[in-house]
Amino acid sequence: MLYLQLYQAEILINNSKKFSFSDQKKKAYLETLSNLFTAIRTSIDEGYDETTLFVKKSHLDFVFKSIEFLKDSTLNTLPFEVVSCLNRAMNDWIDAKNFIVVTSLQSNLYAFSYDIEYARNYTFYRSLEAEYQIEFKRKLVQINLPLALSRDYLCSVALYHELGHFVDKEHLFSRLAQAEFNSMRRRDRSKLYPYFPYMGTGDNQKKLGYHLGEYFCDLFAAQYVGDTLNYYLEYITTYSDTDTVMHPSTQNRSKVVDDFLAGRYNPVVNLIQKVLEQTIAKRLEIKYDEIDSTDFYRLIPYDIKNDRELHGIFNYGWKVWRSDFSLFNKHMEYDVHLDESAIYKIINNLMEKSIGNYFVTEAWEKGKNE
Amino acid sequence: MSSIVTAAKIHKLIEDGELYIKPLLDKDQVTEVGVDFRLGGNFLVSVQGRDPLINASLNDEFGKRTSKHFFQETRRQLGETFILHPSQTVLATSLEYVRLPDDYLLVLCMRSSYSRLGLTMSTIAQPGYCGCLSIELTNYNNNPINLSIGSRIFQGLFYQADTKTRYFEKQRKYVCNVRPEPSAVTNDPDLVILNNLWNTSNKPDSTDTP
């Protein structure tokens, strides 16, 4: 069976030679991957025991998965704009030069996620180095977006939450918050029970870990996109007051975000802030500016001035979407006959162009100075 | 009588916020008699589809009413290139987003350096238009042409109309587009009348039935 997988991988590697990247880092990664495949092929021998077979199979699985990631990243229709915004946010928390962010468009309507199966598996990469003397200087991280919503910038706020999972896994905030929770005095801990009700009457550490992770990611996203993630959550969960193993109730999640943004006391926010300060000497803080403009109502993109406004464009788009649509008539100074469907497209188009113009102008200035 | 608007007036319109063009990466894109526009990174490339023809009528006798299956989307970033093959047509857009004043018409044509390569386009944007400028590019050269995203490939000439118009007073097919959109030709109301005419004259007559 190992040989079957080997020959399948060989076909994929051969096909990958026609991939065309605009990014040299991806090209270099593919070359390293090709070298790894050659080394695996050379090393495979008859008479392996079960353990060695398992290890070799895992190495070939890595080749498969990496090619799948890179293949999707050659797509001609990548939403550069939203990916560029996320990269800016990632840079605030992680040394981005260690990673190559690739993008995949999925058929599932709610497929907003970060696939970091290998990105943080440093032991795995070290095992490749030890066995084949091949080093991957950068790791692949894949952003998944639903194909149908790849131009829906309103729903893209969910990706800031997903980026939070990646940052959490990198720094282990939620795991450390869980340890902090468990070491608290009973009186202090009881303040957190409204957000983890099952911990007051029992002990479900698995659920606690998941929920702390979700609260962290919500707060992480709120730094950049304010309470707009709440709108998205309300839309997909109908503002549910019940939790699941993986997620706290939407009502609790919204409250934590609202308290954070309003600067109100909230024990979950305090717990997470404490862990961040202890581990990386950082605090969660609002990293976007509210955009106060009539530009979208006048059907023109907003002229983004800095990264704070770049993230603020998501909040602005939602604000326009939730506003009274007669404002379009008011600012255009006549009845522009735009129905809701047209306004939905207009907001997304103007968000895309506002972001695009920011990065184009920045790239142009950089190009002039090189 | 309308006349071509020159540089000083164009600058004034931009400064007064009546004419919106962004990003204007270089001020000298405003020339003596118009504005040089740059090639944007979004394309709809013509491909051969499964349908037998692009049907620009409502008459289904020869095929379905669609043109979008004959175009495939592709995107590029500033500085990347796009190869346009001989006889190929692509829908592209300007890099710049434009909102025209209510009394200025914009006429678009290739810059001569690109016309000389065998590229053609010809289109207008009506007063009050909002969006990136849609252009249809065709390569009449016998050889493929490699174009840089962000290069100034076409120019716009402004003409002042004798009165202001309200672009959105009528239902519009193309509103604030930032990527090229396939033709919405079959939304033209005239085609309904023309198709009714055809149906009437070709309706099977009961006397024809054996």
> Which candidate, B176, B179, B82, places its Cα nearest to that of B135?
B179
Q: Tell me the pLDDT tens digit for each residue of A176-204.
A: 999 999 999 988 999 999 999 999 888 88
Whether B103 is in a domain gets the answer yes
Give the gap in angstroms from C-alpha B202 to the nearest C-alpha of chain A: 37
Among candidates B77, B95, B168 on the partner chain, residue whose Cβ is nearest the Cβ of A336 = B168
Confidence of residue A55 (pLDDT cuts 50, 70, 90): confident
- Chain mean position to CA A41: 35
- Residue B44 belongs to a domain: yes
Q: Is residue B77's pLDDT more than 70?
A: yes
Q: Is A317 on the interface with B (CB under 8 A)?
A: no
In this structure, are residues B127 and B104 in contact, taking their beta carbons and an 8 Å threshold? yes
Average pLDDT, chain B: 89
Q: Is the complex ipTM higher than 0.85?
A: yes
pTM of the shown model: 0.90
- A349 interfacial to chain B (CB closer than 8 Å): yes
Task: Choose the mutation target among A349, A361, A365, A369 for the interface with B, i.e. most B CBs under 10 Å.
Answer: A349
Q: Collect all residues from B whose CB is shorter than 8 A from any CB in A.
A: 20, 22-23, 25, 72-80, 95, 97, 99, 130-132, 150, 166, 168-171, 175-179
Q: Which amino acid is at A290?
A: E
Say if B205 falls within a structural domain.
Answer: no
- Quick check: B6 and B32 in contact, CB under 8 A? yes
- Which structural domain, as residue segments, surrounds residue B158? 7-200
Residue B182 in any domain: the answer is yes
Q: What is the mean pLDDT of residues B160-187?
A: 87
Which residues of A are less than 8 Å from B170 in CB distance? 337
Domain assignment present for B132: yes
Domain-wise residue ranges, chain A: 2-157, 172-280, 296-369
Q: What is the pLDDT of residue A9?
A: 83
Output the six-digit token pair for B4. 């071509």
User: Is position B209 within any domain?
Assistant: no
Catalytic residue ranges of B? 136
Quick one: average pLDDT of A215-219? 96
Interhelix angle A205-225/A173-183, rounded to 10 degrees, is: 120
Number of domains within chain B: 1
Residue of B nearest to A358 (CA): B23
In a domain, B208, yes or no: no
Cβ pair B81, B147 in contact under 8 A = yes
What gap in Å lies between CA A63 and CA A57, rounded to an integer? 10
Q: Which of A76, A298, A332 sits opposite B73 (nearest CB)?
A: A76
Of residues B74, B171, B177, nearest to A349 (C-beta)? B177
- Assess if residue B68 is contained within a domain: yes
Q: How far is CA A165 from CA A79, A162, A213, A249, A279, in A?
A: 21, 5, 7, 18, 16
Assign residue B109 the CATH number of its domain.
2.70.40.10
Q: Band of the pLDDT at A150, cuts 50, 70, 90?
A: confident
The b/e string for B143-153 (b: 16+ C-beta within 10 A; e otherwise) is eebebebbbbb
CB A304 within 8 A of CB A310: yes
What confidence score (pLDDT) does residue A19 get? 78
Interface contact A351, partner B, CB < 8 A = no
